[in-house]
Structure 1
Amino acid sequence: MPEPYSQEDAVAPAGAGGRIELATTDTGTVESPPAPAPPPDGPAAKPRGLWADAWHELRRNPVFVVSALMIVFLVLIAIWPRLITDGNPLTCDLARSQQGSAPGHPFGFDTQGCDVYTRTVYGARASVTVGVCATAGAALLGSLLGGLAGFFGGWTDSLFSRVADVFFGIPIILGGLVFLSVVTSDTVWPVVGFIVLLGWPQISRIARGSVITAKQNDYVQAARALGAGNLRMLLRHVAPNAVAPVIVVAMIALGTYIALEATLSFLGVGLRPPTVSWGIDISNAAPQIRNAPHMLLWPAGALSITVLAFIMLGDAVRDALDPKLR
């Protein structure tokens, strides 16, 4: 005789509609699997972009922090030198010529009896002005010409590349001696114009290569297939993704341009008195290095620290923007 059907049997018979129902038991219920845990950063977390990720890396880089603080201090004293000195760099006393450190004059005096500390502080203004303006001009001109050459290619690329080769062939010191020796202006603008004239080809080559790489990406090809014009593709898709190498090279070049201005002023063709410049002070102190080494030590030290700060900043930004170098 068959055993009676119990409630513990697993499956109930299919009904007329073909539906199969699971039978419940007295001892348990059917439970759904647990929901997956949310990610550590929360369900709304989004991946960081290139610039956000670079800033995240820079904040943790001590080289960037130190160099950025040095540059901020340099810019502040270039704009407001009276924050740390109340002297006049053009006020001199021949009776104190080449004297060493004295109360209120920690760096001593130069050949004309001018306060070396005050002139060192005011010398930052000319150097920063030349460096920033020359870098901005060279970066804009080089990015424009190099970007157009790389984007359009063909005869445009050939024309701009050959023009850049011509300027690359000019020795920068010899060119400065020839170009600036015929200029009689006492302002910083002839020096800025000369540096831009010979500095844009380097940035142009970087911009050209970066644009050629960026325009081959799939999103640029997709924009072209959807009917986007050349101007829209260049400004919206290519330029934002090709500007990082240009920024890195420009930051490093800024320190180089400051050193170049000091070199040209040292040779007598850069900035001229009464402009206060580290290069001019180094040139005046060089013949007296044995009798008064302090005249050369302080402006040369300020120049070296400034150039080093900008080079360190450029290296830190380069490492942050290029994941392969981390």
Structure 2
Amino acid sequence: MSETQAIFESEALELGARTLSNRELLRALLRKPQFVLCTVLVLTFFLMAAVPRIFTATDPRFCELGKSQQGRAPGHPFGFDVQGCDYFANVIYGARPSVLVSVVASIGGFLIAAVLGLLAGYFPGFVDNLISRTADVLFSLPGLVALIVVLNSVPNRSIWIIVGVILLTSWPLGMRLMRSTVFSVRNREFVLAARSVGVPPLRILRKHVFPNAMAPLLATTTLGVGGLVGLEAILTFLGVGLQPPSISWGSQFGVAASYRDAPHLFIWPALFISTMTISFMIIGDSIRDALDPKLMR
């Protein structure tokens, strides 16, 4: 009984140390000007996606064909699109699909990869073989081609269908990373001590293994959010993403490709996509550097 109590007390101490470590991590991140700036930009994009009316009161679907492809004008800083709709309003409202797909797919991918990686790394044998072989099958498929084929077979493509297909094809990489990290954690002293006194496996995974193995997956997932923004735009540009009347940066790219005499149709969505992608990448780099034990010394 005393050994079990000692293990539970050590768990409490480790949890307190982990909380302190998280505070130190936050302080280290806030000391990086590029992290703060990119976080503000990302939060602005989130707010833009959640409440677009804060940024524009113009209806993005109110159009005047007489103003088709015209440049900037008073009250219309981005000009007009092909149908004469205010392009600033269209770009603002186009943030919602891109942000929603990238964030939901990233969070969902992190959770799936974390759970499957924990199970595969902690339970060698049948569980590991089942998960790893399934991942190998998905790894053998060319990613973008698989996405195009699957989405092209779906008649009505919504945001949630696109997110589901991305999750279906993207989790193996994160699972492999989590699995390899769990292998290095599962034989550490605190895990062996908890296992020796009969602590349930799920408690060990939740209290000991996951907090000590999640850092590489978290950094990789943060870096990948920006790539998902571009992926949504690519899929919509290729005609297998969101469908009209949905407004997104990818659909604006598709229209801009056919009207090269109106460069503003390309410049503005490209600028927003690039800014959001680079911001997420810098945030991911900052988190990865802060979580690197060598850099924390």
Same fold judged by TM-score > 0.5?
Answer: yes
Structure 1 unaligned residues grouped into runs of 5+: 1-45
In the alignment, is the contact (CA less than 8 A) between 2:151 and 2:157 conserved in 1? no
3-state SS of 2:158 partner: coil
What is the alpha-carbon distance in structure 2 between the residues aligned to residue 184 and residue 88 of structure 1? 28
Query: Which has more helix, going by share of residues?
Result: 2
In the alignment, is the contact (CA less than 8 A) between 2:157 and 2:241 conserved in 1? no
What's 1:3 paired with? none
Task: Report the aligned-residue RMSD.
Answer: 1.5
What's 1:107 paired with? 78
What's 2:88 paired with? 117
**Match of residue 220, structure 2, among 242, 249, 263:** 249
Is the aligned partner of 1:296 residue 2:276? no
**TM-score between the two structures when normalised by the length of structure 1:** 0.83
| Partner deviation per Cα, 1:133-152 (whole Å, 9 max, x = no partner) | 11122111111111100001
What's 1:225 paired with? 196
Offset at residue 48 of structure 1 (A): 7.9
Structure 2 unaligned residues grouped into runs of 5+: 1-16
In the alignment, is the contact (CA less than 8 A) between 1:79 and 1:125 conserved in 2? yes
In the alignment, is the contact (CA less than 8 A) between 1:186 and 1:273 conserved in 2? no
The number of residues matched between the two structures is 280
Offset at residue 131 of structure 1 (A): 0.8
| Partner deviation per Cα, 1:215-245 (whole Å, 9 max, x = no partner) | 1211111111222121221111111111222
**Match of residue 88, structure 1, among 49, 59, 82:** 59
What's 1:277 paired with? 248
What's 2:136 paired with? 165
Is the aligned partner of 1:72 residue 2:43? yes
Is the aligned partner of 1:62 residue 2:33? yes
What is the alpha-carbon distance in structure 1 between the residues aligned to residue 262 and residue 18 of structure 2? 59
In the alignment, is the contact (CA less than 8 A) between 1:186 and 1:275 conserved in 2? no
**TM-score between the two structures when normalised by the length of structure 2:** 0.91
What is the alpha-carbon distance in structure 1 between the residues aligned to residue 246 and residue 167 of structure 2? 21
| Partner deviation per Cα, 1:76-97 (whole Å, 9 max, x = no partner) | 1111111110111112111111
In the alignment, is the contact (CA less than 8 A) between 1:187 and 1:275 conserved in 2? no
What is the alpha-carbon distance in structure 1 between the residues aligned to residue 19 and residue 121 of structure 2? 29
CA radius of gyration, larger in: 1
Offset at residue 157 of structure 1 (A): 1.4
What is the alpha-carbon distance in structure 1 between the residues aligned to residue 238 and residue 270 of structure 2? 15
- The aligned runs of 1:1-326 (5 Å cut-off) are 49-289=20-260, 291-325=261-295
